Structure 1
């Protein structure tokens, strides 16, 4: 078995009050490193996630549980084989409260004071860019598993992307609409006024125009938009008379926008959002209002499972094993037990990839792990890891279309991965 590279950070976490304070300011990232001196005793993965505040609490909680599940699988299968010595993996996590400055401070501390050489980058898009830039400054290998644009990947800066670039998130949705209902050409795009959401919106608009859609509304809304501003946005959506609505933002604004669209009777044949519908809290908050809402996803429990493929080495738990381990992790964290989403699966895939790379390299040295990451070709429950060493992107990473149907998330597109038939047109708002 393999597992991520690890440094004796565990001992440092309890070191001094000053170090502890820095850790509490932690970044939404997983930090992995090997500190020299004899045979390794354990592989420590340090992680800080937006667990109590910020715009990505729901997705980061899922990511943490996914990473914990992957670590548990590695350990229950004997640990990581480093040059003939089996070493266990230990995950250390802190709450960064969604603050980019905390992320930078922790990464600087880890790199300069603790010798961290490999990190799984933050899952919060608002924290990610600053954190990765800080890591690059110290020559740290960064593995991005959350929502991120292609521009984040930088092989020269040792930054790799596990999932698909966010610019591609709505490409399969546009394809699906064109095939299922070619008459639906009027498209409204609204997005949170953040760098990440704006990047996705622009890429989606460009792709849509290429495919013959007419963009009838293209508008940003404030990051901290409240009920009044989202209500105004809903009225603008209604006035634009769209066939397709695409909204891009965080969890809370996504939920409130659905409520606003329901209140003002906004109608469209297809309603899609990123990234709010990707977590179970979307249904907990909205109930029947979630029906038929579409969203881009990189993995779903209710999807056709990935299996061993020619040219790939299978590594990691089965889908069923991961689900069980994820549930245990969520329970241990005190969170409601729910189905994992793609953020959990991608975090687990990132841990598994580093674990396999370290094992194949037979070393915890960051440069050795980085070179190994460029060469491994594995299939996992969450899909393939097959890196293009020139771009830092995956060679095989498909974006799927998910949909809420009767209180559960299903993959509905493409047909080869679909677990359910898409519900369309949107049935209208209940009540």
Structure 2
């Protein structure tokens, strides 16, 4: 790893710590976030030339604090702002603190995540703000990842900050009675980020490694802060086991390679070992949750040397349990495939039938694609071919579209 890359990684790690320190002391999420971004830019310019400071978190937080105070003092409404600050802060709040005042060992990452994932914000805003404030990604990077104009993403982030301001969302851990549910929201946002990176919903690329990598990094941070939480460990294990397949999921020209056809020798064995150890340990001590069950399913796949060697009865049983824990049409869709591998394609097709009336999935390209696959297994190639083509028309992902069209073409004029 180059020196510049090490500095970039260090700044990304430090960004939420500095932002948390400023918000805890001054409030004003939007102004603090802007100040931290300026401090990150200054560090990116100075540290490669001058070296990383002995106390990098203190340096970053102090520089951001000074930028924040300078901005307030230069504002036309300086007196009103200083009066507001005097009412909410200690008398010395406007003095640039020394690094030691900021307790560089303090980690506000989880508190910041709770703020970015507050229920008052929409799901897209939660995702965008988390990537910006906690992940340290630029607005342009987030916009590229979600295939929207940078101006659109900037407006989304700006509205999220304004929402925090107008609703008075506090910077602090939620009350004890709300904490578990709020943590579920945080984990769901990280899950959404990972899934968008793993299978991008639109555009020319199947996956966005930047997003999956960021989701894993943030999940590691939450696991470090909450090591006893089974669902946190389960989500991290699920991400590791799933991301381990990344290099085998596409051909050199970017074409999709389905799980059954992947070269398992290209899977990341270190990530698989870490993920299996993590889920094995947490299943032995923590109450079952949806992320642990999904990680257990991923572990069964990871432990098999070929698709034929997968313990399909175990996978089907785990999906049935997951469906009880978290009823969801996408879970049913995946369960249908596993059941078909155990009981035959008609049993899987029977499970799919009720999904046609579920508004959450009816018309979704994956429902058509799975039904096509099971019909092909059953020998009805004409119906399978038609549904592969329907699925191809309904996805905005070019790799998925090309794969589905190839599946239809492979069946010929049946």
TM-score, normalisation: structure 1: 0.24
TM-score, normalisation: structure 2: 0.24
* Greater share of strand: 1
Structure with more relative contact order (C-alpha pairs < 8 Å, separation 6 or more):
1
Tell which structure's C-alpha radius of gyration is larger: 2
